[in-house]
Chains A and B, each alone.
Chain A
Amino acid sequence: MGAGFDSTAYFLDLMVVGTLILPIFFVVRYPLGRRVILATVGIYLLHLIAPRLAIFYCLFWFFVFVLQQIIVRFRETEPWGQMAFWAAVFAILSPLVLWKLIDREFVTYFNLLGNQLSFFIHDRVGTIDRSRAIILPIGLSFAVFRAIDLLVKTNLGKLNRLGIDRIFYYGFFPPIQIVGPIIEYEELVERPPAQRPRVIEDVYPGFARCLFGLFKVLIIAAALQKSERVFYSYPNLSTPIIWTSLIVFTWFFYINFSGFSDIAIGLSRIFGIRLKENFDNPFFSRNVSEFWNRWHMSLSRFAQRNVFVPAGGYRPETQYRALTATMMVIALWHGLTWSLVAFGIFHSVGLIVHRKYSMSRRKSDPSNLRQRILVTAATYLFVTLSFPLLILNLSDAWKFYLAMIGQ
C-alpha cells in the first residue's frame, strides 16, 4: 500500500543539494548554523516527497523534544521518572505499532490528516500535497528507534537536555532519515560539525563512497533484482531454479541495502561526520552470532544496547531469554506478522544452539581453510533459509519451503 517513492531519487537530490551547501559548510563556523542548515535540507527533501511527510516528522520530532524535556525534568524523581520514561517510550512506539497492526487505516488517516495540515501552512502547499503520491510514513521505523535510543540515553543520564535545534538536527539529518542506518545521537556530536570537513580526509572519500554505493544499487543490485520474482512464481518453477533465485535474491537484498548505507555513510562523511559501519561482509560469517554482528549492524547495536544488556544477556541464567527477546525485537521491527515471529524464533534458535555448542566444544581452528569454508557455507545456508519469512506471509512461506524440496 502506498507508492511513489524512490530512494535513489532522494539520494540524487541530496547529492545535488549537498554539493551546493558544502561551500557554506566550509564558511559557517558555528555549530548551530550547521545544524540548522542540515535540518532544513532534511525537511526540504521530505517536502519534495510530499509536504505531509515533512509536517508529520516536524510534529514527531517536536514531540520527541517535549518528551526529552519531561524525562530530564523527572528522571531523578521516583517513581515519576520511570513512569514518565515508559509513557514516553509507549507514546513514541505507538505510531509504529499502529502502522504495523492496521496498516490500511493508518496509511489512510496519515495521508488524509497530513493533507489537511498542509493546507494550514499555505493553500499552494496543500495543493502540491494533494497531487503528490499516496505514501507510507517513509522512514518511520528508523525514526522511532532513533527517538527511543535518545530517550533511553536521556533516562540513563547519558544525555542532558537538548535544544530543539539539536533534536531536529538528529531527526532530520538528511543522509539517514529515509533508509537508515539507525544512528546514535553521539555519532553526530562526537565529531562536532564545528570541526570543518576537510577535502582530503572527508570530502573526497565521502564522495567516492557515495559513488560506490550508487554503483552497487544501480548496477549490481539492479542486475540481480529480477530474482525477487521467485516469491510469486515459485509454484511454476523447478526446484533448482527456486534455490538459485533465492540465493541470487539474498545477494540482491544485501547489495541493495548496503549500497544505500554506503551512500548515507559517504554523504555524512562529506560533511565531516563519520558514521559507524552498517554492514561488514555478513555473508562470509562463520556462525549466526557473527552474522548478526555484521548484518544491519546499527539495528543490532540498538537491540544489544536497549534489549540484550537490560534483559541480562551477559548473565548465564538469563542469557537465552535475552537472546530471544533481542532477536524478536529485530524481527518485529520489520513488521508485526506471524512470519516475522517465525523469523525471530528461527534465528533465536540458531543463536542459542550456536552459543550452547560453542561453550561445550573447543574453538575451531581458524587456519583450517576447509573447515572455514564449511562453516561459512552452513551459516549462509541457514540465513538464506530465513529470507522467505522476511518476504512472504506464513502460509505462503510454508508453500515456498515445500516447493524448495520439490513438493
Chain B
Amino acid sequence: MKLPVSNQIFRWNTFTAVRTTGWMIVGLAVLRLVTLPPSPELVGDDSLPESVSMIRRGGHQDWIDPEGSRMIGRLRGKKVAWVSGSSILIHGPNGKKSRLPGEVLSVVTGPNGPEFKVVEYYIAGARLLEIYTVALEALRLNSEVIVVALNPLYVFNPSALFGRKQLFKSGVRNWWTVEDWPMQFLLASPSDHFWVMFGQFVPKMPIPDWFQKVHSRKPFKRPQSADENLMFTRPVQFWSYFEVPEVPEMVANNKKTSGSIWQHGALRLSDPENASWNRSIIRSLFDRINRSGVSAIVYLPSVNPALLENKYNMEIYQKVRAEFAALASLHAGDRTLVLDIFPDEILDSIEFHDNIHLRDPGRLPQYMADLISQL
C-alpha cells in the first residue's frame, strides 16, 4: 500500500533534528490553541467610585480558562479578594445588573476613601471544589481580606462536588496538602499536570477568533426542550430529575427552563451527614486560610424563604447550616469570621430574584462593609 502523506513527510534523515524542532514548535502552538489563557478582565463600572477598581476572573470565560483563574502579574495597593458563585449577582429593576462586591466596596471606601482593588473570582454555578480551588488561588494574592461565599445548595452536596474541569489546572498547583493528594490523581488529568509544569514555556501568540470554536463544539442534536437538554447533559439536573420525587412533576408543569426547579433539586440532593468529601474540603479551606494569615469572611448566602416552605427543604437547609457551623467552630481560625446565615433584620431587607440570586440586596452591602471594616 502507498504510504500516507504523513509517513512520507516524516522520514528519518539528516534534517530530522531540524524538522523535529519545527514540529515541536507546531505542537506547542497547537497546545496553545487548546489551552488558551484569557487575560484578567478589568471591569469598567460607572456605579463604582474611582477608588475602587474591579478585576474579574472567571465569568463565562472560565469554561476555557486553563489557568484556573490564575492572576497574571502582581497587583499593588490594598486588595480584597472575593470568591463566589452567582449568589453575588443582583438582578435589579429595569434589567439593571450589578454585583455584591462592587456595592460593598463602594460603601467601604466612600467617595474619597482609600484606594481599594477588588479582585472578584466569580464562577457561575460554582460548586464547593471550585470555590475551594479558586480560594487557594486567591490566597496567593496576599490580599488584606478574602471573602468566600459557599453556596448552601452545593456546600454539602455530594452529587455536585465540581462542575468545571478547567479549574483543576490551578488545583494541581494548589492541592498540595496530604488531604488534597487524592484529587491530584482522581480528578486532575495528566494534561492538567503537563500544563502546570510546561505552560509557561508555551509561546504566546495572537489567536484568531475562530480557533476558540474548537472549545464550543457541540454534538448534533434533534431539537429538544430546554429542560430535557439540561436533564441529559448536566449532572445536577439529571440526578435531581431521577432522585428528587417532585422534580419530574415540576418539569412537566413548567413550559420554560426554570433555574428554581434545579435549585430546588440541588438542595434536596444535599446530604450533610454523608458528604464526607465535602466536609474534608471545608476543613481544608479553613486550614489553608488559617495558614495564610489573611483575614477572612466565609459565609453561606441566605436562600429565598419561599424555597424553605417545603418541609423537606427546610429540614435539609437546617442540617446544612448546622453542619457548616459545627465545622467552622472546630476549624476556623481567630481571623476568620464565619456566617451560616445573615441576621434577621438583614434577611428581611433582601428581595430575592429566585431562590438564591438577589433582586434588591437591601441592607446587605452595608452589613458586609461593616464586617470587612472590622477585620
Interface residue ranges, A against B (CB under 8 Å)? 1-4, 6, 8-9, 12-13, 15-17, 20, 48, 104, 107-108, 111-112, 123-125, 127-128, 130-134, 200, 204-205, 207-209, 211-212, 214-215, 218-219, 222-223, 225-226, 228, 231, 262, 266, 277, 280, 391, 393
CA distance A15 to B198 in the complex (A): 14
B68 to chain A, nearest CB (A): 15
User: Which residues from B are CB-within-8-Å of A205?
Assistant: 7, 10, 12
- CB-defined interface of B10-42 with A at 8 Å, one 1/0 digit per residue? 101000100110010011001101100000000
User: Which residues from B are CB-within-8-Å of A214?
Assistant: 27, 30
CA distance A48 to B232 in the complex (A): 19
- Identify which of A9, A104, A123, A222 contacts B213 (C-beta below 8 A): A222
B155 to chain A, nearest CB (A): 14
- Identify which of B1, B6, B27, B239 contacts A262 (C-beta below 8 A): B6
Closest B-chain residue to A201, C-beta based? B12
User: Which residues from A are CB-within-8-Å of B6?
Assistant: 208-209, 212, 262, 266
Q: Which 5 A-B pairs have the closest CB atoms?
A: A208-B10, A16-B190, A3-B233, A212-B6, A12-B191
A131 touches B162 (CB 8 A): yes
Looking at chain A's contact residues, the main secondary structure is: helix
A211 touches B27 (CB 8 A): yes
CA distance A266 to B182 in the complex (A): 32
A331 to chain B, nearest CB (A): 17
User: Which residues from B are CB-within-8-Å of A219?
Assistant: 30, 33
A16 touches B160 (CB 8 A): no
A393 touches B222 (CB 8 A): yes
A280 touches B9 (CB 8 A): no
7 contacts between A and B (CB under 8 A): A1-B233, A12-B194, A207-B23, A208-B23, A214-B30, A218-B33, A223-B210
Q: A12-B191, A131-B160, A131-B161 are in contact. Are A108 and B242 (CB under 8 A)?
A: yes
B230 to chain A, nearest CB (A): 10
User: Which residues from A are CB-within-8-Å of B239?
Assistant: 130
B181 on interface, CB distance cutoff 8 Å: no
B4 on interface, CB distance cutoff 8 Å: yes
- Identify which of A127, A134, A209, A223 contacts B158 (C-beta below 8 A): A127
CA distance A391 to B219 in the complex (A): 11
User: Which residues from B are CB-within-8-Å of A125?
Assistant: 186
Q: A132-B235, A208-B23, A212-B6 are in contact. Are A200 and B12 (CB under 8 A)?
A: yes
A225 touches B217 (CB 8 A): yes
B220 on interface, CB distance cutoff 8 Å: yes
B242 touches A128 (CB 8 A): no
B228 to chain A, nearest CB (A): 9
User: Which residues from B are CB-within-8-Å of A218?
Assistant: 30, 33-34, 211, 214
B235 touches A209 (CB 8 A): no
Given A9-B191, A209-B7, 16 additional A-B pairs, CB 8 A: A4-B233, A16-B190, A123-B277, A130-B158, A131-B129, A131-B235, A133-B234, A134-B235, A205-B12, A211-B27, A214-B30, A215-B30, A223-B210, A225-B217, A277-B4, A391-B220
Q: A215-B26, A219-B30 are in contact. Are A124 and B16 (CB under 8 A)?
A: no
- Identify which of B9, B187, B214, B220 contacts A222 (C-beta below 8 A): B214
CA distance A215 to B277 in the complex (A): 40
Closest B-chain residue to A393, C-beta based? B222
User: Which residues from B are CB-within-8-Å of A48?
Assistant: 189
- Identify which of B1, B161, B162, B189 contacts A13 (C-beta below 8 A): B189
- Identify which of A132, A204, A266 contacts B16 (C-beta below 8 A): A204
A204 touches B20 (CB 8 A): yes
User: Which residues from A are CB-within-8-Å of B211?
Assistant: 218, 222
| B: interface residue count bin | 35 or more
Q: A204-B12, A218-B33 are in contact. Are A124 and B186 (CB under 8 A)?
A: yes
B193 on interface, CB distance cutoff 8 Å: yes
A278 to chain B, nearest CB (A): 10
User: Which residues from B are CB-within-8-Å of A130?
Assistant: 158-161, 235, 239
Interface residue ranges, B against A (CB under 8 Å)? 1-2, 4, 6-7, 9-10, 12, 16, 19-20, 23, 26-27, 30-31, 33-34, 127, 129, 158-163, 182, 186-187, 189-191, 193-194, 210-211, 213-214, 217, 219-222, 232-235, 238-239, 242, 275-277
User: Which residues from A are CB-within-8-Å of B182?
Assistant: 124
User: Which residues from B are CB-within-8-Å of A391?
Assistant: 220
CA distance A200 to B16 in the complex (A): 10
B188 to chain A, nearest CB (A): 9
A128 touches B233 (CB 8 A): no
CA distance A15 to B234 in the complex (A): 28
A133 touches B233 (CB 8 A): yes
B127 touches A131 (CB 8 A): yes
A233 to chain B, nearest CB (A): 13
Closest A-chain residue to B239, C-beta based? A130
A21 to chain B, nearest CB (A): 10
A17 touches B190 (CB 8 A): yes
CA distance A280 to B2 in the complex (A): 9
- Identify which of A2, A16, A212 contacts B193 (C-beta below 8 A): A16
Closest A-chain residue to B276, C-beta based? A123
CA distance A207 to B232 in the complex (A): 37
User: Which residues from B are CB-within-8-Å of A128?
Assistant: 161, 186-187
B325 to chain A, nearest CB (A): 23
A8 touches B12 (CB 8 A): no
Closest B-chain residue to A391, C-beta based? B220
CA distance A309 to B366 in the complex (A): 80
The CB with the most chain A CB atoms within 10 A, among B159, B214, B221, is that of B214
User: Which residues from B are CB-within-8-Å of A104?
Assistant: 232
User: Which residues from B are CB-within-8-Å of A4?
Assistant: 233
User: Which residues from A are CB-within-8-Å of B10?
Assistant: 204-205, 208-209, 212
User: Which residues from B are CB-within-8-Å of A127?
Assistant: 158, 161, 275, 277
User: Which residues from A are CB-within-8-Å of B159?
Assistant: 130-131
The CB with the most chain A CB atoms within 10 A, among B159, B234, B235, B242, is that of B235
Closest A-chain residue to B27, C-beta based? A211
User: Which residues from A are CB-within-8-Å of B191?
Assistant: 9, 12-13, 15-16
A129 to chain B, nearest CB (A): 9
A263 to chain B, nearest CB (A): 11
User: Which residues from A are CB-within-8-Å of B276?
Assistant: 123-124
B210 touches A134 (CB 8 A): no
A19 to chain B, nearest CB (A): 9
CA distance A111 to B214 in the complex (A): 27
CA distance A125 to B185 in the complex (A): 12
CA distance A222 to B20 in the complex (A): 24
The CB with the most chain B CB atoms within 10 A, among A17, A208, A228, is that of A208
CA distance A226 to B211 in the complex (A): 11
User: Which residues from B are CB-within-8-Å of A123?
Assistant: 276-277
CA distance A130 to B240 in the complex (A): 11
CA distance A346 to B244 in the complex (A): 47
CA distance A4 to B164 in the complex (A): 10
Closest A-chain residue to B224, C-beta based? A1
User: Which residues from B are CB-within-8-Å of A132?
Assistant: 235
A3 touches B219 (CB 8 A): yes
B30 touches A134 (CB 8 A): no
